[in-house]
Structure formats: structure tokens, C-alpha cells
């Protein structure tokens, strides 16, 4: 046997011998609050994405120098608590007004995450990392 065949044979023998070891699994009870929170998180993300997809919001973001695709990528990177906060702001905003305050909140959240070094959207920020 050449050295390559010997090393393959040794690897196969070791993997076959280790396949017989028992695998452990852990199971637990999932609380209703955890399931509801996961569902709410997805709903909040969808609500914020739908808000960012509006034409007036896209034009306002572009006026501030932010691409709508970059903003939706940033929403994906936000934590569940931050997305819930933004979704509540979307709910509180009237249908046609107060868009500026919501955009300001979104700008601040994006700016803070940019400074923390999680993403790089704004060219005028320096990362802490």
C-alpha cells in the first residue's frame, strides 16, 4: 500500500469505530412566550421592510444619502428589540405624516450600528473596532 491509501484506510477505520459511539440529544419544553416572540419578531421585520419599500420613504432615504437596499440589509442586522422599537414607531406614525421623525430614528439606529462597526453604510463614520 502506498502512503495515501494507508492514510485513507486509517481515516476510514477511525471514523467507522467512532460511528458506534452514542450521540446525545437534549430536549426541553418550549415556552409559549418564546414561540410568540419569534413570530412577532418576523412580523416586526416584515412591517419595517414594508415601510422601507414605500416610494416616499425610499426618496427620503436617498435624499439623506442612504440606499434603500442598504437600509433593508441593516434591518436584517438589527436585533429583535431594535426591530420591535422601529415597528412600534411605524405603528405610531400617522399614515401620511411624521415620516421625518421615523426616518430620523432609523438614521440614528443605522448611525449607531455603523459606529459600533457592525456595518459600513455611512462614509463619514469611524468604527470603534
Residue matched to cell numbers 400617522: 94
15 belongs to a structural domain: no
95 belongs to a structural domain: yes
- Determine the pLDDT at residue 94: 58
Q: Is the pTM of this model over 0.75?
A: no
What DSSP string describes 38-83?
Answer: HHHHHHHHHHHHHHHTSHHHHHHHHHTT--HHHHHHHHHHS-HHHH
- Determine the pLDDT at residue 32: 85
- Determine the pLDDT at residue 9: 93
19 belongs to a structural domain: no
Quote the mean pLDDT of the chain: 79
Question: How many domains, the chain?
Answer: 1
The DSSP letter of residue 21 is S
- Grid cell, residue 22, equals 452514542
pLDDT over 90 (residue 4): yes
3 belongs to a structural domain: no
4 belongs to a structural domain: no
- Determine the pLDDT at residue 11: 92
71 belongs to a structural domain: yes
Separation in Å, CA 12 to CA 4, 5, 6, 8: 12, 10, 10, 6
Please write the tens of the pLDDT for every residue from 22-33: 777 788 888 888
Average of per-residue pLDDT across 75-87: 81
pLDDT confidence bin for 10, thresholds 50/70/90: very high
Domain of 57 in residue numbering reads as 27-115
- Determine the pLDDT at residue 49: 84
105 belongs to a structural domain: yes
38 belongs to a structural domain: yes
Please write the tens of the pLDDT for every residue from 37-75: 777 888 888 888 888 888 877 887 788 777 777 777 877
Amino acid at each position: 500500500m502506498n502512503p495515501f491509501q494507508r492514510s485513507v484506510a486509517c481515516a476510514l477505520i477511525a471514523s467507522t469505530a467512532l460511528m458506534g459511539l452514542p450521540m446525545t440529544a437534549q430536549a426541553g419544553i418550549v415556552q409559549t412566550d418564546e414561540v410568540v416572540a419569534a413570530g412577532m419578531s418576523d412580523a416586526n421585520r416584515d412591517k419595517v421592510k414594508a415601510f422601507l419599500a414605500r416610494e416616499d420613504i425610499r426618496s427620503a432615504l436617498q435624499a439623506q444619502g442612504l440606499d434603500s437596499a442598504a437600509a433593508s440589509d441593516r434591518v436584517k442586522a438589527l436585533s429583535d428589540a431594535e426591530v420591535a422599537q422601529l415597528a412600534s414607531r411605524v405603528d405610531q406614525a400617522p399614515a401620511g405624516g411624521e415620516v421625518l421623525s421615523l426616518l430620523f430614528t432609523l438614521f440614528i439606529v443605522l448611525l449607531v450600528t455603523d459606529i459600533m462597526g457592525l456595518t459600513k453604510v455611512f462614509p463619514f463614520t469611524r468604527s470603534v473596532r
